[in-house]
């Protein structure tokens, strides 16, 4: 369905009974988190990463979730043990509005809105009104 490198889910729990939180145990995907180096890069050094992120986003937008045997995007509650497919429903202990969503646009808008409080306390606070305008125009 995609060429985006993603880890394989080994185990998960959608309750807080075992460790006090829901969790997902996944295989390791090598790399360095972009957030670890982003602030140290100048604009020219950031360009390849930004283009790669844009390419990944375009690939995600073009996934037909129905033909990929997925019902929704975002938080999921269970994996079908027979074929390993995810069933997206809101987990009981999730405290955000991060899913499930019908499409990547709704997921992206809600994810950005979820990050507003954090953004308002950062050096990027001036972008919040711009993001709000973008979200309003998409809906």
- Chain CA centroid to CA 37, Å: 20
What backbone torsions phi and psi does residue 48 show, to the nearest 5 degrees? -60, -35
Dihedral in degrees, nearest 10, Cα atoms 137, 52, 73, 88: -160
| Res 67: pLDDT | 62
| Res 28: pLDDT | 92
Q: Which of 10, 7, 35, 32 lies closest to 23, judged by CA?
A: 10
Domain boundaries, the chain: 32-138
The first and second tokens of residue 38, run together, are: 């982003």
Query: What does each of the 139 residues of the chain score in pLDDT, given as a tens digit?
Result: 678 888 888 887 777 777 888 788 899 989 888 889 999 999 999 999 999 988 888 887 777 666 655 666 666 555 555 555 555 554 555 545 566 677 777 777 777 788 788 888 888 888 888 888 877 786 6
| Res 27: pLDDT | 93
- Residues ≥6 apart with Cβ < 8 Å to 2: 59, 60, 63
């Amino acid at each position: 369905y995609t060429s985006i490198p993603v880890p394989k889910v080994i185990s998960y729990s959608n309750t807080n009974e075992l460790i006090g939180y829901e969790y997902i145990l996944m295989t390791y995907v090598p790399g360095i988190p972009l957030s670890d180096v982003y602030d140290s890069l100048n604009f020219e050094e950031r360009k390849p990463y930004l283009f790669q992120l844009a390419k990944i986003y375009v690939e995600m937008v073009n996934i037909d979730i129905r033909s990929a045997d997925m019902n929704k995007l975002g938080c999921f509650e269970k994996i079908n043990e027979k074929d390993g497919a995810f069933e997206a429903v809101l987990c009981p202990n999730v405290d955000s509005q991060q899913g499930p969503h019908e499409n990547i646009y709704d997921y992206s808008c809600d994810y950005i809105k979820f990050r507003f409080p954090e953004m308002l306390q950062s050096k990027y606070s001036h972008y919040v009104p711009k993001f709000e305008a973008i979200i309003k125009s998409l809906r």
